[in-house]
Homo-oligomer: A and B are copies of this chain.
Amino acid sequence: MLNPDWKPDASSPLPVYKQIEQYIREKVLHGEWPPGTRLPSHRALSALFGVNRSTVAAALNLLSASGLLEGNRGGGTVVRSGPLEPSTSAVKAPIWMNAADEGIHYPNLPVIQTINRMEAASGVIRLGTGELSPELLPHGSYNQLLAELSRCRRRLSYPEPQGCPQLREAIARHAAADGIRASAASVLVVSGSLQALHLISVGLLPRGAAILTEKPSYLYSIHAFQSAGMKLIGLPMDKEGLQTEKLADAAAAYSASLLYTNPTFHNPTGRTMSMERRMQLLEQARASGLSIIEDGAYNELWIDHEPPPALKSLDSEGRVLYTGTLSKSFSPGLRIGWVIGPEPVIGRLADIKMQMDYGSSMLSQETAALWLSSGRHEAHLVHIRSRLRERRDHLLELLHRFFLDIAEWDKPSGGFYIWIKLTVTVPLRALFEAALAEGILLNPGDLYDRNDRQHLRLSYAYASAAEMNGAVPALSAIVRRLAKTERQES
């Protein structure tokens, strides 16, 4: 878990191994690396510090000799847990070291941890990422909004529980354009729609509840429901989206009362549920007493033609809780999303949100309100739709040239993703790592379905055409190489 952001200074008169020794000594002596802290491997440290391994070894040897570090059973190096001076032998170590393994909430999947870390690194081509390239984000308009905000007096106080009224009204109007009838009172502002899922998981469901969802699903890549002690039940998809025939049976078999679906430009498959399927889904939900969370993260990002209406717009019973976000179009760093649903449910979620963070950043809320009500959002969408179309077509063309004989895919009509099914056998973990070694970051299919062994989620939203031109052939070569090794070994 250590992730030092320091590097030795090659121009200093102090030898590099001495600088490293001092750096680690300070970390230990000031409690930033307390007793029991596991150090990264020699290899990882040499990469992090940008030095060769013998230099790392020299520094660690000094530290071990002075009693600050010691070997652990696994052959790694840890900060020494015993007392340094006999006189302090009554000291008991703080709990943190075990605690980090003991906490209730699941850690992120290791691959996601790596992705989160590497996304901030420079020189990496992000070929699986779930956000728009900075070149598609409206930097200029954003600055205009800030300039406008800098000219008005604002509320710097704690936010209101459901979010600032102007933003809730803007969201209600925005939803109305998609046929969703909602008043400001049935809108809750959240810090990104991920937070909505977290609030729902601890706010509306008993421990042990079962949640139905598509398989693969974005839900498998996060732990919102699982960490709250809930179980995901994956349902099969076809080209029209979630298959509804098995819905009632699954709901009954697992006593599930909630379905999470991402019907439009589904993450990760890119598929969109047909209108007919939407009607069937609602009918089945009515018959089996299922409530629905509809994740509308990508709804606006159609490329070829408008998708069918949101489930929420077809719902007059308050059966659907709808989540939306500004992350996929305007700015992910703003952290503004929303939930639209029955007022008593929204009130309950707002109450829990107040207990978790006392509401979302007012500055973000104001910026979002101004953006949505300025009308700039619509114009911006027109712009990014056409850019996403170019990018999608470019990636499809590259896939056609370099993957035709080793993979299959559908053409998505919106959103960010192409879901590649490899038709040769390649271990996904090895593929992820081999790609990363060549500076390509991608999202393996098993993040979205634990049993998946053959999919990759590629994204045309982030990498530039030039980056795709380099990365797709490189990826193709890696797949072929690994497939060959795999064939030879079996």
Tell me if B205 and A31 are in contact (CB < 8 A).
Answer: no
Closest B residue to A160 by CB, please name it.
Answer: B120
Tell me if A90 and B34 are in contact (CB < 8 A).
Answer: no
CA distance A362 to B336 in the complex (A): 11
Interface residues in A275-311 (C-beta closer than 8 Å to B): 286-291
Nearest-neighbour CB distance to chain B for A222, whole angstroms, equals 6
Contact with B along A96-128 (1 / 0, CB 8 A): 110110111111100001001101100000000
Tell me if B139 and A92 are in contact (CB < 8 A).
Answer: no
Most buried by B among A291, A351, A360, A363: A363
A159 contacts which chain B residues (CB < 8 A)?
333, 335
- Interface assignment of A437: CB less than 8 Å from any CB of chain B: no
Query: Which of the four size classes fits the interface of chain A?
Result: 35 or more
- Interface assignment of A454: CB less than 8 Å from any CB of chain B: no
Q: Which of A11-19, A239-247, A337-345 lies at the interface with chain B?
A: A337-345
Most buried by B among A92, A96, A131, A137: A96
Interface residues in A151-174 (C-beta closer than 8 Å to B): 151, 153-161, 165
Contact of A342 among B4, B31, B258 (CB under 8 A): B31
A222 contacts which chain B residues (CB < 8 A)?
355
CA distance A183 to B330 in the complex (A): 33
Nearest-neighbour CB distance to chain B for A140, whole angstroms, equals 10
Contact of A183 among B32, B149, B201 (CB under 8 A): B32
- Interface assignment of A64: CB less than 8 Å from any CB of chain B: no
The A interface, classified by DSSP as helix, strand, loop or mixed, is loop
A103 contacts which chain B residues (CB < 8 A)?
202-206, 348, 352
Tell me if B150 and A137 are in contact (CB < 8 A).
Answer: no
A257 contacts which chain B residues (CB < 8 A)?
95, 99
Contact A94:B318 (CB < 8 A) given known A108-B355, A360-B361: yes
Q: Which of A190-198, A375-383, A471-479 lies at the interface with chain B?
A: A190-198
Using CB atoms and an 8 Å cutoff, list the residues of chain A in contact with chain B.
Answer: 1-6, 27, 29-35, 37-38, 90-97, 99-100, 102-108, 113, 116-117, 119-120, 131, 134, 137-139, 142-144, 146-147, 149-151, 153-161, 165, 181-186, 191-192, 194-195, 198, 201-207, 222-224, 227-229, 257-258, 286-291, 315-321, 327, 330-336, 341-345, 347-348, 351-352, 354-364, 367
CA distance A182 to B327 in the complex (A): 32
CA distance A258 to B331 in the complex (A): 39
Tell me if A344 and B95 are in contact (CB < 8 A).
Answer: no
Contact A318:B204 (CB < 8 A) given known A287-B91, A332-B358: no
Nearest-neighbour CB distance to chain B for A443, whole angstroms, equals 14
Tell me if A318 and B31 are in contact (CB < 8 A).
Answer: yes
CA distance A203 to B258 in the complex (A): 26
A5-B184, A116-B161, A361-B364 given; name 7 further pairs at CB < 8 Å. A1-B348, A30-B182, A37-B343, A104-B202, A113-B351, A156-B331, A331-B362
A107 contacts which chain B residues (CB < 8 A)?
348, 351-352
